[in-house]
Structure 1
Amino acid sequence: MKTLRINCDNQNFILHPAGVAYWERKRMLLIADVHLGKITHFRKHGSAIPQASLHHNFNQLKSVASNFDSDTICFLGDLFHSYINNEWLLFKSWIETLNCKVVLISGNHDIIDEERYTQLGVAVLQEWELDGFLLTHHPEERDGFYNFSGHIHPGVELRGLGRQNLKLSCFYWKENQMIFPAFGVFTGNYIIKPKSGERIFVNTEDEVLEIALNV
């Protein structure tokens, strides 16, 4: 995997192709929109999704977490798609293997009772102000803070010289804000139209690349 180091508000962050970022100074792994339980939800309502897909998010979480020496893992909202289902047991087992602090910034899909997370040692916050950074689920602009968020599942559509096109998830960088791609599978992307001065870092299967903007 080829990562990419970027600077936000005079702090260094490492972007990983899985759509996560590592805050070097804080030794913190940031992950948005995992949507655990969504696969079980779809299968329950008749979608023909292979059972093996259920373990994809957890295998990805284990893999990414093992790549970084983190003191904290922070989920930027929508950790679970809806109510508790069988994937909660997998999540509980994964949490028990960690030797770091875990924080959830509550998102609009996070409807599981906070006490359930507390019992696992997971702290639940509505937002987190930390050393000039504002960690939220929904994108926000607040004076004096650089905002990290998720929620919109940003993606871009790349067009070739012919009629071929490719849609990829991305980190959407602005002067005082960066919106993270969705980590979870089957989440979909919202195709963005970046403006002048903004930056896009796309995620391929094994690399993070900054792409030039035609604006």
Structure 2
Amino acid sequence: MMEMKAGAVDIEAAGEVLTLLPQRAVFWPAMSMLVIADIHFGKAASFRAQGIPVPRGTTTENLEMLTTLVAATGAKSVLFLGDFLHARHAHAVATMAALQAWRERHSDLALTLVRGNHDSHAGDPPPRLGIKVVDEPYLVRPFVFAHHPQAHPDGYVLAGHVHPVYRLAARGDALRLPCYLFGTEGGLLPSFGAFTGGYPVAPTPCDRLFLATPERVIELNARGRGRP
């Protein structure tokens, strides 16, 4: 196992340690599990199929980052919190070929997808990718894994869907960064996928908010400042 990239932050949720990674993914050490939200494979291909010129290479970029994180953490499994494929156009030959080649290089990795709203339109990944597909909520105690944020009586919910970002503003300048948001009943993960956009969130006094910068994860205090 390679050393985890500097800049990760460990937090406690439901009595378990979770590692928040700058690369917008969570590692659960006790289960050797990477948790990833909203990867949206094939989104750029879907846009191009509709005649909208967007950059190529997002699928390769996402897969390369997955490979890096699996190696860095020593993960034995990856759990996707919904929106694995963006739309039916995501089943394009090139996208499926890239996913198949990646899967063959990681055949010993257990993959689970909790269906999200985009998955209901795109359809499940092809069986040859060897991905276990389940409906939300998916319970792995003490956590409840879901695509849509929700409260659940059986555990602490980890969810995606929102693509949360936080707006930092200072002296007339502003910057939006992907973020993690953890409350009393659940946590919200940023979108892992490239080219997926984001929705600004406003934490309550009971929430903990962590910015995911390219170099490190930074927790903000109630005044929107980084904590030492």
Q: TM class, shorter-chain normalised?
A: over 0.9
Give the Å deviation of 1:54: 4.4
CA RMSD of aligned residues (A): 1.6
TM-score by length of 1: 0.93
Inter-partner Cα distance in structure 2 for 1:21 and 1:94 = 20
Inter-partner Cα distance in structure 2 for 1:20 and 1:8 = 15
Is the deviation greater in 48-57 or in 72-81? 48-57
Structure 1 match to 2:42: 37
1:94 lines up with 2:99 in the alignment: no
Structure 1 match to 2:18: 13
SS at match of 2:162: coil
Counting only pairs closer than 5 Å after superposition, residues 1-215 of structure 1 correspond to structure 2 as 1=5, 2-83=7-88, 84-85=91-92, 86-98=94-106, 99-110=108-119, 111-114=121-124, 116-127=125-136, 128-160=138-170, 162-214=171-223
TM-score by length of 2: 0.88
Inter-partner Cα distance in structure 2 for 1:42 and 1:206 = 30
Give the Å deviation of 1:60: 1.6
Give the Å deviation of 1:58: 1.7
The alignment of Structure 1 onto Structure 2 pairs a total of residues equal to 213
Inter-partner Cα distance in structure 2 for 1:187 and 1:175 = 27
Conservation of the 8 A alpha-carbon contact between 1:28 and 1:70: yes
4+ long deviations beyond 6 Å? none
Unpaired runs of 5+ in structure 1?
Answer: none
Give the Å deviation of 1:80: 0.7
Inter-partner Cα distance in structure 2 for 1:171 and 1:100 = 25
Inter-partner Cα distance in structure 2 for 1:27 and 1:53 = 26
Conservation of the 8 A alpha-carbon contact between 2:99 and 2:129: no
Give the Å deviation of 1:131: 1.4
